[in-house]
Amino acid sequence: MIDSAVVAQTNDLRAKNLKADYDALGEQLNRCGIPIDAIKAKVAAYGVAVPSWGVGTGGTRFARFPGEGEPRHIFDKLEDCGVIQQLTRATPDVSLHIPWDKADPSELKAKAQALGLGFDAMNSNTFQDQEGQPHSYKFGSLSHTDAATRQQAVEHNLECIEIGRAIGSKALTVWIGDGSNFPGQSNFTRQFERYLDAAKQIYAQLPGDWRLFTEHKMYEPAFYSTVVQDWGTNYMIAQELGEQAYCLVDLGHHAPNVNIEMIVARLVQFGKLGGFHFNDSKYGDDDLDTGSIDPYRLFLVFNELVDAEKRQAPGFDPAHMLDQSHNVTDPIESLMVSAMEVQRAYAQALIVDRPALEGFQQENDALMATTTLKKAFRTDVEPILAMARVENGGAIDPVATYRSSGYRKKVAGIRPAVSGAGGGIV
């Protein structure tokens, strides 16, 4: 963790300006009848989970260039996640990936507790072969043509639930890489039948207070067809499985230009929005930092979420997580900035003048309706985020504090450098 004196010292340098900026913004919002302290309280209570794999340097299928002081194992990863939470106060939970993060559950729990962290959804992995595994996932997992391979994938998911129960998780996220690379390679219907049958076996063992999230992805690793390719298929799965099954929306897993905020609205309307994997993209599933390419889209997604929150949509309780690949940045810095981008989109959505928006929608005043959204999006809400952070014990400028702390250099002295050979995800 970072010395609290460093946090205090870097905050002291910025406290006076923050107070002035916060007061000025408060006055501006007050003119529109928006109490800034109420927005700050909502932002302060907001959290987005960090995936354990996000604190390692990512890569593409061409190469991976490891950074300094990469975490060696889950306990190092938890420490990095602890720093992100310490400075941003926006990331209270960590999402584990099995088998990458397999460890004694009581040790995991103790370490997380010591760092002030909790556990979010468990993530299974049937898109890679693990050492000693009898059946290969080269041609699929839950939808494989071979029953023993499907069974192995089901059992792996059940093991993830068991580990999750021991550490206090309440959800399982299932993403499969199953699909086909050539027309004719797979029978679409049979393949999806096999998937549903296997998914039902997992669902049958889900604890009563858990949720099952299925995540769709349009393409990759399969390049011709993917079994759970879009939100429509995802919705069918959630419907087939039952009321504890929900759809997870990863912002990167859609065709270019797809209206993701509208998908979000549809899933909310039918009570099946399970949660998000936040990231951003330019061309495809680029896994870029959240809000780095299209912050307006992120805002529009949050506009739907705040709308659902305000009208208390039944069953609305989405899980929020970052899921991105940090190939050229320090992952801790990227995750801190991304968590703040998500918070920013939330804060901007909270200050939308909703009664005015509804009026313009009713009157079919397209120009003023869209201007109402733009007005909120254009507002610089940074003072709200920074004030929420500092009042929660975090840093006014997390990246500046992190850089002053020398944390990366310190852990680089303890964690040996790793080889950069090979490509692949984190």
| Interface contacts to Mn ion, rule CB under 5 A | 250, 277, 323
Least distance to Mn ion, CB of residue 61, Å: 17
Least distance to Mn ion, CB of residue 54, Å: 11
Q: Are 357 and 373 in contact (CB under 8 A)?
A: yes
Kindly report the length of the chain: 426
Least distance to Mn ion, CB of residue 395, Å: 28
User: Which residue, 89 or 277, has its beta carbon nearer to Mn ion?
Assistant: 277
Q: Which two tokens stand for residue 254?
A: 């859609």
What is residue 50's DSSP assignment? Answer: E
Least distance to Mn ion, CB of residue 215, Å: 6
Q: CA-CA distance, 82 to 11, in Å (whole number)?
A: 19
Q: Are 281 and 250 in contact (CB under 8 A)?
A: no
User: Which residue, 101 or 323, has its beta carbon nearer to Mn ion?
Assistant: 323
The rounded radius of gyration (Å) of the Cα atoms in the chain is: 22
Least distance to Mn ion, CB of residue 263, Å: 15
Block residue for tokens 């999006």:
377
Q: CA-CA distance, 111 to 109, in Å (whole number)?
A: 6
Least distance to Mn ion, CB of residue 410, Å: 31
User: Which residue, 79 or 250, has its beta carbon nearer to Mn ion?
Assistant: 250
- N-to-C CA span, the chain: 23
User: Which residue, 76 or 285, has its beta carbon nearer to Mn ion?
Assistant: 285
Nearest to 118 by CA among 179, 168, 191: 168
DSSP line for 375-403: HHHHS--HHHHHHHHHHTT--SSHHHHHH
User: Which residue, 50 or 347, has its beta carbon nearer to Mn ion?
Assistant: 50
User: Which residue, 22 or 276, has its beta carbon nearer to Mn ion?
Assistant: 276
Q: Are 217 and 285 in contact (CB under 8 A)?
A: yes
Least distance to Mn ion, CB of residue 175, Å: 6
User: Which residue, 175 or 402, has its beta carbon nearer to Mn ion?
Assistant: 175
User: Which residue, 85 or 123, has its beta carbon nearer to Mn ion?
Assistant: 123
Least distance to Mn ion, CB of residue 214, Å: 11
Q: CA-CA distance, 318 to 51, in Å (whole number)?
A: 16
User: Which residue, 97 or 277, has its beta carbon nearer to Mn ion?
Assistant: 277
Least distance to Mn ion, CB of residue 323, Å: 4
DSSP line for 226-285: ETT-SHHHHHHHHHHH-TTEEEEEETTSS-TT--HHHHHHHHHHTT-EEEEEE-B-SSSS
Q: CA-CA distance, 399 to 405, in Å (whole number)?
A: 10
User: Which residue, 150 or 253, has its beta carbon nearer to Mn ion?
Assistant: 253
3-state secondary structure of 333: helix
Q: Are 266 and 307 in contact (CB under 8 A)?
A: no
φ/ψ of 71, rounded to 5, equals: -60, 135
Least distance to Mn ion, CB of residue 188, Å: 23
